[in-house]
Structure 1
């Protein structure tokens, strides 16, 4: 499952669980890009449930859209990742260190309130 919801003027919330194949990845990326239209200095809350690695086809779709994804990421200043698995939280923060202009902070499933507070801070 991959769900994207616009949550105000400059924020989107993403919920992800399961495994994405190439068709689902296409839909997910289209939805992310569409929901983020017009956002500047945005915030994102990313909830990761039961996670499975995407299929090779899904990774191929993602790689084919790298230019669009770079434009998408530049719309956001902060992303809070809420995930139950430690390795996903670590990977998210490493990704944040590699993307200029984007702060990513990871939180455990029990820390969603702290994630919300971190996103709202000025």
Structure 2
């Protein structure tokens, strides 16, 4: 599952679970790009459960959309990642250290209130 929900003018939530195939990846990324139109100083809540590596086709779809995805970086200031996998939390925080202008903080799956408070701070 790859679900995008625009919670407000400056916030998008992403729910990702299981393995993504090329169709799910294409629909999800296109929806993310569409829902991000007009966003400035945005916040993103990314919930990842039961993660499985995407199919090769899904990775190809993502690579084809990289230019548009890089364009999203300037729209968002903060990203909270909720996940049940420790290695994903670590990877998210490393990614946040490498992307200028985007603060990424990882939380346990049950820490929604803490993540929401951090996004709003």
TM-score band by shorter chain is over 0.9
Q: Aligned equivalents of 1:16 and 1:115: distance in 2?
A: 17
Runs of 4+ in structure 1 over 2 Å off: none
Q: State the secondary structure of the residue aligned to 1:15.
A: strand
The equivalent residue for 1:38 is 38
Alignment of 1:9-48 (within 5 A): 9-48=9-48
Query: 1:95, 1:28 → 2: CA distance?
Result: 21
TM-score calculated relative to the size of structure 2: 0.97
Q: Secondary structure at the match of 2:110?
A: helix
Q: What's the RMSD between the two structures over aligned residues?
A: 0.8
Distance 1:80 1:90 in 2: 13
Partner of 1:64: 64
C-alpha displacement of 1:99: 1.2
Distance in 1 of aligned mates of 2:118 and 2:93: 14
**Deviations 1:50-101 (CA, angstroms, capped at 9, x unpaired):** 1101011111111111110001122100000000110010111111112111
Measured in 1, the distance between the counterparts of 2:56 and 2:73 equals 22
What is aligned with 1:105? 105
Structure 1 SS opposite 2:111 = helix
Shift of 1:41: 0.7
SS at match of 1:7: strand
Aligned length: 121
Q: Show structure 1 runs of 5+ residues with no match.
A: none
What SS is found at the alignment partner of 2:33? helix
